[in-house]
Amino acid sequence: MKRKVTKQAIEALHAQLCKVYKLPLIPIVWTSTRRGRFVYKPTTIRLGINCWRGIKTSYIHEFAHYVDYSTHGPYLHHGKEFYDSLLKVAEHVLGNPKKYKWSTEYKSVLSRWREDTLDRD
Ligand SMILES: [Zn+2]
């Protein structure tokens, strides 16, 4: 049986990633929605405990927004910069970005990944 990812596990991972990326430890706000969201005023990561794409996948996506935001400013889109951040965060958390659930990503992000893996293989 697949181990359920708990809030505590995500909070611990979050504390660790903020250290690794030398970013202020921003709060995770738990909501009852099925979506995650990165908010920059006040800077928070909002996560639904029942996120449709899985809580860890959702967390990785939103944390990548945080990395992107702290590097490039408040542009919350899913372009090249976001993709680069996502790739790094996914690699850090999962050991290999191939383990990330790319199929749950926005089309623009997924197509970058597909191109990228074609280039690599
Ligand atoms: Zn997003």
Greater model confidence, 120 or 83: 83
Query: Which residues in 52-69 are b (16+ Cβ under 10 Å) and which e?
Result: ebebbbbbbbbbbbbbbb
Q: How far is the CA of 8 from the centre of ligand 1 (A)?
A: 22
Please state the φ and ψ torsions of residue 120, each to the nearest 5 degrees.
-80, -35
Domains detected in the chain: 7-110 (3.30.2010)
Q: How far is the CA of 34 from the centre of ligand 1 (A)?
A: 14
The two tokens of residue 110 are: 């997924």
Q: How far is the CA of 19 from the centre of ligand 1 (A)?
A: 22
Please state the φ and ψ torsions of residue 104, each to the nearest 5 degrees.
-90, 0
Q: How far is the CA of 110 from the centre of ligand 1 (A)?
A: 12
> The pTM is what?
0.92
| Region 56-61 average pLDDT | 96
Write the pLDDT tens digit of every residue in 40-57. Answer: 889 999 999 888 999 999
Rounded Cα–Cα distance for residues 20 and 46 (Å): 20
Q: How far is the CA of 42 from the centre of ligand 1 (A)?
A: 17
